[in-house]
Amino acid sequence: MLKTKIIAGIAVSMCAIPFMHASSAETPITGTVQSRCVITTDTPGVYGNPNAYTLTTSASDGGVQPIIRFDVTLADAYLAQITTPTSFSSSPSISETVTWTGSTEVSAVSDATNMGSYETNKVTFGQTTQYDLTATGSTWFKSSSSATMGGNKAFPGGSYSANVTALCVAQ
């Protein structure tokens, strides 16, 4: 009977060891992904002021259209989304409604054969224009922007700034 108790005691001991001394580890796996789409401002925009109630990037009105370059090293992986301004990022205090219009178009490409359809295949929704970047290389986009003070009232004197937003969206 004594042997039975000892054997039973050993069995219990051996079963309890794995549960009492169990351990675990979480081993991380990390990585870095570098974008294969780089956005650069080639030409900052400037608002011309052809009359008291309009600010515009039109060259004929003294403005300069901003030009943004997208450099892509992986074809069919990114969408270019370019949004023209819908508000000022800084300006004097304005109590009137400002009406915004804007558009974006392809200005130049590094590979006319493979990028030639970018402009005809663009999709526009609201102030945003989207291009499917189907080829590697560089594409220059120019945006126009116009702000008109409601009721043809004069803009207050001062400095005005607005931003074109450009994104590379992974597909």
Residue 140 has what DSSP assignment? E
CB 160 within 8 A of CB 108: no
Q: Is the pLDDT of residue 62 over 80?
A: yes
Band (33; pLDDT cuts 50, 70, 90): confident
- SS3 per residue for 150-163: HHHCCCCCCCCECC
pLDDT at 15 over 70: no
- Residue whose entry in the numeric block shows the structure tokens 């270019």: 80
Please state the φ and ψ torsions of residue 33, each to the nearest 5 degrees.
-115, 125
Listed in sequence order, the residues at least 6 apart from 47 whose beta carbon sits closer than 8 Å to its beta carbon are 55, 56, 57, 63, 145, 147, 160, 162
Q: Which two tokens stand for residue 132?
A: 């499917």
Model confidence at 141: pLDDT above 90: yes
Number of CB atoms found within 10 A of residue 83's CB: 19
Instruction: Specify burial of residue 72 (Cβ count, 10 A radius: 0-12, 13-18, 19+).
Output: buried
Rounded to two decimals, what is the model's pTM?
0.81
Tokens of 36: 């294969």
